[in-house]
Amino acid sequence: MNAEILRSLLVVYLVAAYVMAILYLRRRRLSFGEYTFWGLFALLVPVVGPFLVIFSQPGRGSRRQRRASRR
């Protein structure tokens, strides 16, 4: 593998991880400010930011998530 392929794979990974974090945040109950903060955190901490956002579970879950966890 040359450097160009590795760079391309890194960019694809970063975009995929960021999209995953944003989709996760959409399912959480957050104010606009909280959503913006966590989204910027995921974007500005490049490699582990999206995973830290998902791991920290900001806000409250949606009603559907809460019902599923009670069962």
pLDDT by residue for the chain (71 residues), tens only, comes to 799 999 999 999 989 989 998 899 888 898 999 999 988 988 888 788 888 888 888 888 766 555 555 55
Q: What is the pLDDT of residue 63?
A: 61
Amino acid 2: pLDDT = 94
pLDDT score at 68: 58
pLDDT of residue 5: 94
Cα separation values, 10 from 20, 28, 37, 43, 49, Å: 15, 27, 24, 14, 14
Please state the φ and ψ torsions of residue 60, each to the nearest 5 degrees: -105, 155
Give the per-residue pLDDT at 6: 93
